[in-house]
Amino acid sequence: MIIDHLDAPVPGSSLHPTLTGEAYTSAEVFEREQQEIFEKMWNCVLRADSIPSPGQWKTVTVGREEIIVVRTRKAGIKAYHNVCRHRGMRVCTSGDGKNKTLQCGYHAWTYALEGELVAAPNLTSMPDVDREQYGLKSVAVREWLGYVWVCLSDADQGEQPPSFEETVLGEVRTSFGAVESIDNYGIENLRCGESKTYDVAANWKLIIENFMECYHCATIHPELTEVIPEFADGLASQRANGEVHGASFGEQIRGFTVDGSDGVTEFPSIAPDQERKYYAITVKPQVFINTAPDQVIIHRMFPVSESRTIVVCDWLFLPEVVERVDAGELDVSKSVELFHRVNLQDFEACEQTQPSMSSRAYRSGGALVPSEHHIGEFHSWWTQRVEAGSAD
């Protein structure tokens, strides 16, 4: 929804090319994306405070893999492939739980929260079985902004996780001017007041492209353009002359709500130029961060197929706000409703675009107008990653 590279140089022609339709419809391309992008980059998978105490775990899908994310007693949060090393059964067969160990329900192979094999029937008669070697296969974990991020880069294939600082933090730096600017929001200490899951019948790249431009705002987002009038001209940008300025609320607007009425308690540490401002950041390949003075909205995408993507959207508020909501003393539904409507409007547009991607009339792709030219940078990035994969 935000144009974060508008000040990039714009070549002569008004219209730039897009990716071709096949990029959005080929099952083979999608498999390569899973391998080269989602299974090699950092993925934001769940809120760390959703597994608050040792032994609590959740399962999540990253690329084509199911991963267990568990809070250990001594080693913080760890993540493993949800595959028993014996005969392969899912070790965790539901979405979440709390256990002292992770035990497979088939033959009772049992793993410590920290991953190593600690028990199995007749294991003592198999002295040559190395308990580390036959531990659950682990994947890299980071915590940032209160979320758990995992990276599946394949140690067996000699791969290393990419630098979190250069990839994830680098994207924030580009969009937000400095990583420190986001620190003002104290996102790691916020609490999730609402979470919605959207099952979108569209390729994940259509969803990213949609988030990257505001040329569509006037057409499909009446509530959002009421709150942020500059979005109505389709040329809105958070940046100008190399400086980040965010997008300003309209003069009559009192808060980031569906009707412009008052929001909730503002974040205490934000800078003056972050008050009455909305910022948006795309963290490739699957995260969108949107900030307002009193709420932070985080989207995580989970691609399922070339034409289907699960999007989970969290609305984060100050802990005391969520506590008052839980106590029935406060209502944040107008705050949540604004971006929920934006989501529904955007995903509807993506779903109406997906079927055309296989048309002969989109064989050579479409066109980007000047205020969308920066999407071409996303396309270049994508092409490079996917082609690198095909050279394997």
Q: Tell me whether residue 40 or residue 191 sits nearer to a second copy (CB atom).
A: 40
218 touches a second copy (CB under 8 A): yes
- CA dist 220 and 346 (Å) reads 8
Chain positions 123 to 142 lying near a second copy, rule: CB under 8 A, are 125-129, 134, 137
- Our CB check for a second copy shows the closer of 95 and 268 to be 95
Contact 10, 373 (CB under 8 A): yes
Angle at 63 between CA 89 and CA 183, to 5 degrees: 120
Which tokens belong to 115?
A: 């991953």
Which residue has tokens 């508008």?
A: 6
Q: Is 349 in the site for a second copy (CB under 8 A)?
A: yes
Query: Which CB sits closer to a second copy, 209 or 294?
Result: 209
Determine contact, residues 66/59, Cβ cutoff 8 Å.
yes
With H, G, I as helix, E, B as strand and everything else as coil, classify residue 116.
Answer: coil
CA-based end-to-end distance of the chain: 34
Among 189, 197, 333, 356, binds a second copy (CB under 8 A): 356
Is residue 352 a contact residue for a second copy (CB under 8 A)?
yes
What is the full DSSP assignment across 334-374? Answer: HHHHHHHHHHHHHHHHHHHHGGGGGSGGGTT--EE-GGGTT
| Token digits of residue 222 | 């009446």
**Site for a second copy, residues 22 to 51, rule: CB under 8 A:** 39
CB 352, min distance to a second copy, A: 5
Site for a second copy in 358-387 (CB under 8 A): 358-363, 365-371
Q: How far is the CB of 315 from a second copy (least distance, A)?
A: 26
Q: Does 101 bind a second copy (CB under 8 A)?
A: no
Question: DSSP state, 135?
Answer: S
Which CB, 138 or 195, lies closer to a second copy?
138
User: CB of residue 185 vs a second copy: minimum separation in angstroms?
Assistant: 31
Residues of span 242-261 touching a second copy by CB under 8 A: none
- Residue from the set 353, 385, 386, 389 that interacts with a second copy by CB under 8 A: 353
Integer angstrom CA distances of residue 183 from 43, 178, 237: 20, 9, 21
Instruction: Find where tokens 């920066």 sit.
Output: 374
> Per rule CB under 8 A, is residue 15 in the interface with a second copy?
yes
Q: Helix or strand or coil: residue 231?
A: helix
Nearer to a second copy, 73 or 100 (CB): 100
- The answer to whether residues 160 and 147 touch, using CB atoms and an 8 Å cutoff, is no
Asked whether position 344 contacts a second copy by CB under 8 A, the answer is no
Q: How many residues bind to a second copy according to rule CB under 8 A?
A: 64
Q: Does 70 bind a second copy (CB under 8 A)?
A: no
Q: Which of 37, 152, 258, 270 binds a second copy (CB under 8 A)?
A: 152
Window contacting a second copy (CB under 8 A); options: 116-124, 269-277, 292-300, 381-389: 116-124
Three-class SS state of 98: strand
- Amino acid type, 75: A
Residue number, 160 or 352, with CB nearest to a second copy: 352
Q: Report which of 344, 333, 251, 347 is spatially closest to residue 295, judged by C-alpha positions.
A: 333
Nearer to a second copy by C-beta: 163 or 356? 356
What residues between 219 and 238 interact with a second copy by CB under 8 A? 219-220, 234-235
Q: Is the dihedral of CA 202, 205, 207, 213 positive or negative?
A: negative
Give yes or no for a contact between 285 and 167, defined as CB atoms under 8 angstroms apart: no
Nearest to 305 by CA among 205, 179, 160, 236: 205
Q: Which is nearer to a second copy, 130 or 331 (CB)?
A: 130
Q: Does 66 contact a second copy by CB under 8 A?
A: yes
Q: Is 160 in the site for a second copy (CB under 8 A)?
A: no
Q: Rounded to an integer, what distance in angstroms lies between the CA atom of residue 351 and that of residue 2? A: 20
Residues within the interface to a second copy (CB under 8 A): 13-15, 18, 21, 39, 64-66, 81-90, 93, 105-108, 120-122, 125-129, 134, 137, 152, 154, 156, 209, 215-216, 218-220, 234-235, 349, 352-353, 355-363, 365-371
